[in-house]
Structure 1
């Protein structure tokens, strides 16, 4: 036994050993982790379901919007086209078509001479003219500043030939210069025939 004062002081400083059992707390920790994992999985599933529902609703709204726009366009087109039954029973219809922004007044059976070469059309090809501004007869006329709808009138033509003009000599001069240059020129031509001109209303 310790009898001296120093020994008593050392005895008071001795720290008792404490035994801690970690096994008693492990079940609680595992349970908490399992509960956290289950809650996170549930949250992820809910987020996925919400995203799927939002995408489905967006697709349905876009589909309904497109259908509504198509119906509105059809109604506006039907309302913008007037009653053309008087023109339907007329004979010798004429029309004004635009080819490269140049107007041509044509009837069925006419030959049209274009002052250029159509690169993408060959001899015998059938052309559908859609830029039509005027359709009329002796008594009635239907005109639009923009092109008439292709469902109202159909005009077709066939390419007859692709040729050139006769050779001509062109004089080229410059200002304040007495010299004159002579150039031989042969311009390209394309000949069409209008095979069909009718109303579809």
Structure 2
């Protein structure tokens, strides 16, 4: 058994030694932290010195990507096609092929300049045996959905029963040759009607059937309606013949 005096001396010795150990550990940690900071600062200084000594070193990827974009391309205006030559080949109409040259009568050739010089022109185009009176700038809504067409496609109406202006009218027998005029339309989109629900019932039956329908229609815009001049017809290979009974005639309006 230890005496009380021995215990007191042991406790005093512990009190004296504990602060010394704590105080001795703290400078070691501080020294380690200071050593790390000084090494990091030295590495930063070496990097700055190397960059200053080599001014031609490559820059980072982010500034080069931002500076590489030219301002002219960003501010360039959007190109809008105005003529048929500006459209891509797949959007242009297919040129027709004819086996025989166009035959134009003398009376028609003499009256054609009056019709071609008076604008605007109109055309009565036939589409699925239905007539459509069209002028340049009109919007046409077909009563059906035309297959195999997309928005932006250009179509040519090559069957017309009448063609004219304010004072002259040319009637076909029964149709006007498509090489005398040009009627081109552009497909603008598809329009759909509201959903219709029709109830169908039968006598003496409680069951009611619902028939739903939602039709779609093709929307077009007339781009060009033009009558060719006699000089253009002769350049394309037209032949002047004598008047016949089944030939087209230009009639002045009364």
Instruction: Answer whether contact 1:92 1:107 (CA < 8 A) is retained.
Output: yes
Paired with 1:81 and 1:151, the residues of 2 have a C-alpha distance of 17
SS in 1 for 2:114: helix
| Deviation readout 1:66-110 (Å, 9 max, x if unpaired) | xxxx8xx647x2228713221112122111111122111110000
What is the TM-score of this pair, normalised by structure 2?
Answer: 0.45
Gaps of 5+ in 1: 1-69
Alignment of 1:3-152 (within 5 A): 74=101, 77-79=103-105, 82=108, 83-152=111-180
Contact 2:121 2:227 in 1 (8 A): no
The whole-number CA distance in structure 2 between the counterparts of 1:134 and 1:192 is 20
Deviation of the 1:171 alpha carbon: 4.9
Aligned length: 127
Distance 1:162 1:137, change over 3 A: same
**What is the root-mean-square deviation in Å for CA atoms of aligned residues?**
2.5
Q: Deviations over 1:89-140 (max 9, x none)?
A: 2122111111122111110000000111111211100001101111112211
Instruction: Identify which of 184, 191, 195 aligns with 1:163.
Output: 191
For residues 133 and 186 of structure 2, what CA distance do their matches in structure 1 show?
A: 16
CA 1:132/1:166 → structure 2, altered by over 3 Å: closer, same or farther?
A: same
Provide the rounded CA distance (Å) in 2 between the counterparts of 1:124 and 1:98. 22
The 1:178–1:112 alpha-carbon spacing in structure 2 relative to 1, beyond 3 Å, is: farther
| Partner Cα separation in structure 2 for residue 114 and residue 81 of structure 1 | 36
